[in-house]
Amino acid sequence: MSAGPASAGGTSGDPVAALITARIRNVPDFPQPGVQFKDLTPLFADGQAFRAVVDAIVRRYEPGSFDVVVGVEARGFLVAAAVGYAAGVGVVPVRKAGKLPWQAVSTEYALEYGEATIEVHQDAFLGADQALIVDDVLATGGTLAATAGLVHRAGGQVAGMSVLLELAVLGGRDRLSPYDLHSLLAV
């Protein structure tokens, strides 16, 4: 699926959104004072709920619309591996600086509460691979925008983006308007 209309996440009447909502743990002042961290590890620990979330992501995209899933460190790895397995495609990790063992392409970007650098192997996308980028939470959009830039720089194309939870008040969706962005739950 190429760049197209973005879709906001489910509502309380959506069963997948309800599964996510019931399994969010709010952690105040993490990783620094003033940040209300949305911890999805209770969702990942519930096999049936996690399966429902992964299946919902895979159903969102037509078969063959992506041939690799890109997972962003660290919780995005969990989602990407499961989506890749369910879709029968490979997985490409996007890691923090200095964590990849091969030649990498890197970029710096702003976070909700600081700055970071991420990298991908320079040969991660052979030819014009269509990449579905997945992560757990969309906040300001900095991580996903930086990841999309890395995909392009390494020779891939962004087929779409999918997140479990979108923090709509932070406006990350606006930053990602060129891409087909899907969230399972927007709060």
Encode pLDDT of 40-66 as tens digits: 999 999 999 999 999 999 999 999 999
CATH class of the domain whose range is 15-186: alpha beta
Mean residue pLDDT of the chain comes to 92
In angstroms, the CA 64 to CA 47 distance is: 26
pLDDT of residue 139: 92
Pairing of strands 104-111, 114-121: antiparallel
Q: Tell how far CA 170 is from the center of its chain.
A: 16
pLDDT of residue 117: 96
Instruction: Categorize the per-residue pLDDT at 1 as very low, low, confident or very high, splitting at 50, 70 and 90.
Output: very low
In angstroms, the CA 102 to CA 145 distance is: 23
**Residues with catalytic roles:** 75, 112
Name the token pair of 128.
Answer: 């014009």
Q: What pTM was estimated for this model as a whole?
A: 0.92
Encode pLDDT of 75-92 as tens digits: 999 999 999 999 999 999
